[in-house]
Chain A
Amino acid sequence: MRTAFWLAGATALALAGPAYAGETIKIGFVSTFSGPTAVIGNDMRNSFELALDHLGRKMGGKPVEVIYEDDGQKPDVGKQKTEKLVQSDHVDFIAGYIWSNVLLASLKSAVDSQTFLISANAGPSQLAGELCSPYVFSTSWQNDQTPQAMGLYMNQKGVKSVFLIGPNYAAGKDMLAGVKSTFKGKVVGEEYTVWPSQLDFSAELSKARASGAESVFVFYPGAAGVQFLNQYTQAGLKQQIPLYTAFTIDELSLPLQKENALGVPGAQEWVNDLPNEQNKRFVADYRKKYPNLRPTFYGAQSYDAAQLINSAVVAVGGDTSKKDAMKAAMEKVNFESVRGSFKYGNNHIPIQNFYLQDVVKDADGQLSLKTVATIIKDSQDSFHDKCPMK
């Protein structure tokens, strides 16, 4: 009887073991898993899970636990979920964040608690500038960078004038500002639409046509990109005015955009056919693990976020209380990124290449994205001077 008691006690202790603080690496992941943009969140989760598979679901010898939280694309919900992850789950890292406005609302909760936050997509200008923090890293870009690359490409093509259309929220403003900062021609008009509720762009398209602009630039992530391209084609504008984009055509929207997207260029820091080994493995294993799906840049950035966290945890041998050492490790970018190598600026935003992507029919007759050229090498965001970190 007494032996049985001891045995039960020992078993209970053994079972309770892994739950002790510090025995697992806890990661919170905030993204959108409900509503029309849930497909993006799913892609990010799929890629993050794939990265964990590749890492043997362990970091620094310790098992990894990920808590996924849905922000519903709403800043206030994102903030609540971030607070919950920090205060009641005591996570070591928070990753994810598709939307700039959600990230800006959530930022303070993470930074104040000195929890590392890895943005796997959103890159508002404030984050790169005055709101930069030792605890915040990005595996994506600063919002202005991608459209800046597009502006450079439009200069190369000799475009003389442009009409800009984008959604009225933090990222939309950054994107249009980005094109304006590098494009040398004339900006003949600039339209912001209500985000995310406005789905009919007829009034804006009529104005773009009437403006006499030689080209149109848009930024519409997610389903809005499908709607915009549908309407652009139906209005007969696709044959009339060349369209340039950022974050409007990706592997999630392409199956819905179909032929409407053919020949519409976009700028991106990652394209599925980048020829480095880790990217080939990422894309091949993703398509094996999730049949009928293809990874997007959102996924690639989430995959890198997991690798970045792993590099920090490995550097301190799993002791996540050594925050300074983890920060120093992450600043070195000590992992193989699927976009090829990059460095961090003083504000923890990548200094990286941007590529021109085009929509083509691939070997299986399916529409897919293809790297056409490198638009700019080692591009650094234009806000790093405002970041007090040196």
Chain B
Amino acid sequence: MVRSVSNHVARSILSCDTPQPEHDLRTRMLLVVEQFLNGLQFGLLLFLLAAGLTLVFGIMDLVNLAHGSLYMMGAYFAATFVAWTGNFLLGAVLALAATLLLGIVLEFTTLRHLYGRDHLDHVLATFGLILFFNEAVRLIWGPAGLALPLPAWLTVPVAILPGIYYPAYRLAIIVVALVVALLLYLGVMRTRVGMLIRAGASNREMIGALGINIKLLYTLVFGLGAALAGLAGLMQAPILTVQIGMGENILILAFVIIVIGGIGSIRGAFLAAIFVGIIDTMGRAFLPNLLRQMLSSAAASTAAPALSSMLIYLVMAIVLVVRPEGLFPANRRFIRKRAATCSY
């Protein structure tokens, strides 16, 4: 093994692995801007997934591991409906409606029975749902995966600044996610339903005693969370492929985000998602070159991807040590109060 590693080193030194050509400052700046956009786009996509998760976790106190499955279902629905209708936007809207409906059905049939229970029961039941959805997809769509092709107007690169070309579709993701974030903020903070949701999170019994149908409210919140996951899935689908288990890796990132952002906080999820997206992308983009200053080229090329994928978890660990409740906890006063009641 040692010999073979040194072979690789020797080979890359002997062959034409010359240092990158010197670019002028402008090209470098443009690259940084482009990488920043890449990070922003990735972060906003993660936000859509994390927002649903944090709503369900924070407001309904339900740990939903099957959130990634809803993301996958969104992608599969979109691929199917787009193929049926032949129209990308129409297919996407139908897929969104289908995921919303699926979320409501899921809450009604399964998750409703878990509310009063321990978190471990949630984990067990929703892990079962992951297996169920993976097998269901295998039965319905087969094991090979699907493609979701983009319409021509979304496949062209757009010049956002002179010299910076950016894929139109990734720009569209940024715009859609920002609009959704704004609507979500307005919906939760400025509408009556939003007020009820926040009230339900504070005191379930009290809001029930005041004559509000809390069950219906929870069903709606879960449906909304499912639709957000579905939206993330269907928007990610044309970039990746639609395949079984596609929601499992990305769900881990969504959990990291709600831990960093503070459980139950949409604002926290938004900021933490963008933070994580940018750290991840910038790490991948600039860490290899940084390491090459210190290590041999071959060692740096090997170490950089490993290190950059660890960055996010390092950040999470630091946040957990410094502020265990997350950077922007939903309602700090309330969390303390609840902790106090629990200790009786």
Taking Cβ atoms with an 8 Å cutoff, the residues of A that contact B are 35-36, 38-39, 42, 125-126, 129-130, 168, 173, 177, 180-181, 183-194, 197-200, 202-204, 206-207, 209-212, 223, 226-227, 230-231, 233-236, 252, 255-258
Proximity string of chain B (295-309) to chain A, C-beta cutoff 8 Å, 1 when within and 0 when not: 001000110111011
Please state if B16 and A234 are interface contacts (CB–CB under 8 Å).
Answer: no
Chain A nearest CB from B305 CB (Å) reads 4
Please state if B241 and A233 are interface contacts (CB–CB under 8 Å).
Answer: no
Known: A181-B11, A202-B170. Contact between A234 and B239, CB under 8 A? yes
B109 within 8 Å of A (CB atoms)? no
B3 within 8 Å of A (CB atoms)? yes
- Residues on B with beta carbons closer than 8 Å to the beta carbon of A181: 11, 15
Please state if B143 and A190 are interface contacts (CB–CB under 8 Å).
Answer: no
Known: A202-B41, A256-B145. Contact between A227 and B17, CB under 8 A? no
Please state if B239 and A231 are interface contacts (CB–CB under 8 Å).
Answer: yes
Chain B nearest CB from A328 CB (Å) reads 29
Proximity string of chain B (233-259) to chain A, C-beta cutoff 8 Å, 1 when within and 0 when not: 000001111011110010000000000
- Residues on A with beta carbons closer than 8 Å to the beta carbon of B305: 168, 192-194, 198
- Residues on A with beta carbons closer than 8 Å to the beta carbon of B4: 125-126, 129-130
User: CB within 8 A of A256: which of B11, B146, B244, B246?
Assistant: B146
- Residues on B with beta carbons closer than 8 Å to the beta carbon of A187: 15-18
Please state if A168 and B306 are interface contacts (CB–CB under 8 Å).
Answer: yes
Known: A189-B20, A234-B150, A258-B149. Contact between A203 and B239, CB under 8 A? no
B156 within 8 Å of A (CB atoms)? yes
8 tightest A-B CB contacts, nearest first: A236-B157, A202-B38, A256-B147, A203-B285, A180-B15, A210-B31, A234-B167, A168-B305
- Residues on A with beta carbons closer than 8 Å to the beta carbon of B85: none
- Residues on A with beta carbons closer than 8 Å to the beta carbon of B8: 173, 177
Chain B nearest CB from A28 CB (Å) reads 22
B42 within 8 Å of A (CB atoms)? yes
Taking Cβ atoms with an 8 Å cutoff, the residues of B that contact A are 1, 3-4, 7-8, 11-12, 15-18, 20-21, 23, 27-28, 30-31, 34-35, 38, 41-42, 143-147, 149-150, 154-157, 165, 167-170, 238-241, 243-246, 249, 281, 284-285, 288, 297, 301-302, 304-306, 308-309
Please state if B169 and A234 are interface contacts (CB–CB under 8 Å).
Answer: yes
Please state if B241 and A180 are interface contacts (CB–CB under 8 Å).
Answer: no
Please state if A223 and B15 are interface contacts (CB–CB under 8 Å).
Answer: no
Please state if A203 and B241 are interface contacts (CB–CB under 8 Å).
Answer: no
How far, in whole Å, are A361 and B155 apart by their CA atoms in the complex?
22
Q: Select from chain B the residue with minimum beta-carbon distance to A35.
A: B245
Please state if B284 and A42 are interface contacts (CB–CB under 8 Å).
Answer: no
Known: A130-B3, A187-B17, A198-B309. Contact between A36 and B41, CB under 8 A? no
Please state if B31 and A206 are interface contacts (CB–CB under 8 Å).
Answer: yes
- Please list 24 pairs of residues, one from A and one from B, whose beta carbons are closer than 8 Å in the complex, sorted by A's number: A39-B143, A130-B3, A177-B15, A180-B17, A186-B16, A188-B18, A189-B20, A192-B288, A192-B301, A192-B304, A202-B38, A203-B35, A210-B30, A210-B34, A212-B23, A226-B145, A227-B240, A230-B241, A231-B167, A233-B155, A234-B170, A234-B238, A256-B241, A257-B147
